[in-house]
């Protein structure tokens, strides 16, 4: 795994945990807006968090992959 992607993964796990905790607390305020699911539906939280993980990892994986293909000497000379 690329070093940059692993840093993103650690940050992402922390943010997802904080977001899920906040969503669980604030979902009680949105009870009247939720139709067909409970305020603490684990499947909804898992799908929401999983979607964010997939999007964030794909958004960081592609630039990290491109960065590994650049010649470091050529990149330093360009500066």
3-class DSSP assignment, residue 21: helix
Alpha-carbon distance of 58 to 39, in angstroms, equals 29
Instruction: Give yes or no for residue 1 having a pLDDT over 60.
Output: no
> For the residues 49-75, what does the mean pLDDT come to?
84
Name which residue leads in pLDDT, 3 or 69.
69
Domain ranges of the chain: 3-73
Tell me what the pLDDT averaged over the chain comes to: 80
Name which residue leads in pLDDT, 5 or 10.
10
Name which of 36, 14, 34 is nearest 26 in CA terms.
34
Is the separation of the CB atoms in 61 and 6 below 8 Å? Answer: no
pLDDT tens-digit readout, 28-55: 787 777 777 777 778 888 888 889 888 8
* 12, two tokens: 């992402």
């Amino acid at each position: 795994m690329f070093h940059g992607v692993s840093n993103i993964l650690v940050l992402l796990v922390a943010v997802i945990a904080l977001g899920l905790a906040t969503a669980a607390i604030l979902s009680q305020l949105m009870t009247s807006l939720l139709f067909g699911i409970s305020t603490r539906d684990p499947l909804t939280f898992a799908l929401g968090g999983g979607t964010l993980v997939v999007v964030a990892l794909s958004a960081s994986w592609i630039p990290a992959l491109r960065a590994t293909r650049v010649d470091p000497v050529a990149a330093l000379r360009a500066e």
